[in-house]
Homo-oligomer: A and B are copies of this chain.
Amino acid sequence: MTITQLQYVLAVAEHQNFTLAAQKSFVTQPTLSMQVQKLEDELDILIFDRSKKPITITEVGKKIVEQAKNIVNEAERIKDIVDQEKGFIGGDYTLGIIPTIMPTLLPMFLKTFINKYPKVNLIIKEQSTENLIRNIEDGHIDAAIAATPLEVEFIKERPLYYEPFVGYVPNNHRLKNLDNLKPEDLSINDILLLQDGHCFREGVINLCKASKNYDDEHFQLQSGSFETLVNLSDEGLGMTLLPYLNTLSLDDTKKVNLKYFNAPSPAREVSLIYHKSELKIQITEALRDVISGIVRGAIAFQDVKIISPISK
């Protein structure tokens, strides 16, 4: 049994296809097939049931695949230990970011990070929280920036900052004359929301639920970007809520429509999340340092109340 064989097994288990698994492993299909067979021979069991198309994993196979994941992960950690010892911060690093954070936060830290750590090949992926969690579990991304707390067993969270919700209330809206908002003022019925799958949407719904203005009806308007929401809002279709960082780039003509919440302002907790195995932890820590250093100061709010990003 070799680590390579286990990696091949993992590739086949993931893609359910020897040919594709071989490509992803950068070897030919016969090479991979032979190694998987050799492992099966050595253990004298079948890991894959090749009689079905697509191939399936046997019951023993499932257990072996789980254990193989452990072993391969622990083996990669050896390289981590060496890198840490050498003070080397480099190599591929895949970072996921949720769509509602990406456009505002990424420009703030990207240049600084790649200048400070030129040997890190940073790969950024924009994905929903749900997909980020799955990809962290599978090891396809090394860390992600998302709204927390998530309460996922295998994920560690390191808070980066707390970002208050800000109301965008257009001229004709019933709340127009208020100086500041209170959660109780909100009604789910006249708030424009992002599409399903955005956790900021869940946060807003949780906020309305908490203030008892939630009646579980279907929402008529949904959009994928805050820019659209603001524009729809201006058209008289209701108010909306924006994360604080998204309000900084608004036109002055629109900024007058912003209404802040009374303290403690509802806010989302934005964290760097990663697998509890802490692979590539030095790069993750470096990233956290850079982002916290930059965000500190950009967000001055002290007294906030965290709204959960997950539907309950």
Question: A residues bordering B, Cβ < 8 Å?
Answer: 1-4, 43-45, 59-60, 63-64, 67-68, 70-71, 74-75, 77-79, 81-82, 85-86
B78 and A60: CB pair below 8 A? no
Known: A1-B3, A3-B1, A3-B2. A78 touches B68 (CB 8 A): yes
Known: A3-B1, A3-B2, A71-B71. A44 touches B82 (CB 8 A): yes
Minimum C-beta distance from A286 to chain B (A): 19
A43 and B79: CB pair below 8 A? yes
Minimum C-beta distance from A280 to chain B (A): 15
A64 and B81: CB pair below 8 A? yes
A75 and B71: CB pair below 8 A? yes
Contact of A1 among B45, B67, B70, B78 (CB under 8 A): B78
Q: Chain B residue with minimal CB distance to A77? A: B67
- Distance A206 CA – B78 CA, assembled complex (angstroms): 44
- Distance A40 CA – B3 CA, assembled complex (angstroms): 17
Chain B residues with CB below 8 A from A44, complex form? 82
Minimum C-beta distance from A90 to chain B (A): 13
- Distance A44 CA – B82 CA, assembled complex (angstroms): 8
B45 and A85: CB pair below 8 A? yes
Secondary structure call for the A interface = helix
A81 and B60: CB pair below 8 A? yes
A85 and B67: CB pair below 8 A? no
- Distance A45 CA – B77 CA, assembled complex (angstroms): 15
Q: Chain B residue with minimal CB distance to A78? A: B67
Chain B residues with CB below 8 A from A70, complex form? 74
B82 and A60: CB pair below 8 A? yes
Question: What 19 additional pairs, Cβ within 8 angstroms, besides A45-B82, A60-B85?
Answer: A1-B3, A2-B2, A2-B4, A3-B3, A43-B78, A43-B82, A44-B82, A45-B86, A59-B85, A63-B81, A63-B85, A64-B81, A64-B82, A67-B74, A67-B77, A67-B78, A71-B74, A71-B75, A74-B74
A64 and B78: CB pair below 8 A? yes
- Distance A178 CA – B81 CA, assembled complex (angstroms): 65
- Distance A3 CA – B71 CA, assembled complex (angstroms): 10
Chain B residues with CB below 8 A from A4, complex form? 2
- Distance A85 CA – B59 CA, assembled complex (angstroms): 9
Chain B residues with CB below 8 A from A43, complex form? 78-79, 82
A1 and B81: CB pair below 8 A? no
Chain B residues with CB below 8 A from A1, complex form? 3, 75, 78
Q: Chain B residue with minimal CB distance to A86? A: B45
- Distance A86 CA – B81 CA, assembled complex (angstroms): 37
Chain B residues with CB below 8 A from A59, complex form? 85
Interface centre among A3, A64, A68, A77 (most CB of B within 10 A): A3
Chain B residues with CB below 8 A from A75, complex form? 1, 71
25 contacts between A and B (CB under 8 A): A1-B3, A1-B75, A1-B78, A2-B4, A3-B3, A43-B78, A43-B79, A43-B82, A44-B82, A45-B82, A59-B85, A60-B81, A60-B85, A63-B81, A63-B85, A64-B81, A67-B77, A67-B78, A67-B81, A68-B78, A70-B74, A71-B71, A71-B74, A71-B78, A74-B74
